[in-house]
Amino acid sequence: MSYLLVIPSIDIKDRKTVRVVKGIPELHCKEYGNDPVEMARIWRAENAKLIHVVDFDRAADHSKKNFNIIEEICSSVIIPVEFAGGIRELDDIKEMLGIGVSRLVISTMAIEDRENFIKALEIFGPLKIAISLDIVDEQIIIHGRKIKTGINYLDFAKDMRSLGVERFIVTDVERNGMMIGPNIEMSKKVAEITEAKITLSGGVRNKDELMDIQNLMPLGIDSVIVGRALYENRFPCQKLWRVAESGIFQ
């Protein structure tokens, strides 16, 4: 039996761990600490198989103030690190892969610099590059979730799939960090229209919702990014359902 891969998220701003509510980063509650590197070690110790890291400073203004923290996370855990935030150029991709990031999640570059995005996909391949669908009012938002593009998320997903993209991270930004449940229907639509692999992100709050998502694995929804609910220990026996997964980068 295959199991849904649960991916802890570490969101970073001003070199500290933050939580994100509707795309807006806030300083994380102190009982879990503000050190992103220590947080990565904790998730690894709790048997996470992949960590999702978001750099909000880099996403907002291409700042590299958190660069050495990302580098230290990659060298501190022996599991893959997926990275999102401010990947705008080919050099950004080379730089982040060079410090040990296993997969990059891109959106802005795919829209604003399509030519180089296609080149990056050809050079590094779809196992190293995924597309982020950050969605508000059914349209893609970019630049750190600040700018609405007017592009329908399903149209964009189909376009990216035609270029060879094999994985999409689907986030209903309005539900992100709100603890009101995931937008499962949105991820289903992307899965059905692209027949690609889907990581659902945003809103998950309990094990029952994880089971609902796991039932959709035949559609290609094989993983889920969880932030606030994990930090607030909303799941009983967390080690039990972080089952060893193979083929994370298939």
Look at residue 207 in the predicted model and tell me its pLDDT: 85
Looking at the domain assignment, is residue 137 inside a domain? yes
Catalytic residue among 11, 55, 92, 222: 11
Indicate the number of domains in the chain.
1
Q: Distance between CA 158 and CA 74 in Å, rounded? A: 32
Note whether residue 244 is domain-resident.
no
Among this protein's residues, is 137 annotated catalytic?
no
> Do the domain assignments include residue 36?
yes
Asked if residue 167 belongs to a domain, the reply is yes
Catalytic residue among 55, 57, 92, 134: 134
Question: Model-level pTM?
Answer: 0.90
Q: Catalytic residue at 11?
A: yes
- Classify residue 247: in a domain, yes or no: no
Q: Does residue 248 form part of some domain?
A: no
Could you report the average pLDDT of every consecutive run of 10 residues in the chain (250 residues)? 87 85 56 80 89 92 94 96 95 97 97 96 97 94 87 98 98 72 93 98 87 94 89 63 46
Residue 167 gets the label, from left (phi > 0), alpha (psi -120 to 50) or beta, of beta
The CATH number of the domain where 47 resides is what? Answer: 3.20.20.70
Q: Does residue 250 lie within any of the structural domains?
A: no
| pLDDT recorded at residue 244 | 42
Which residues span the domain enclosing 19?
5-239
| Residue 32 is assigned to a structural domain of this protein | yes
CA atoms in the 13 A half-sphere facing the CB of 184: 16
Sequential DSSP letters for 14-40: TTEEEEEETTEEEEPPGGG-S-HHHHH
What confidence score (pLDDT) does residue 176 get?
64
Q: What is the pLDDT of residue 177?
A: 55
107 vs 124: CA distance, rounded Å? 16
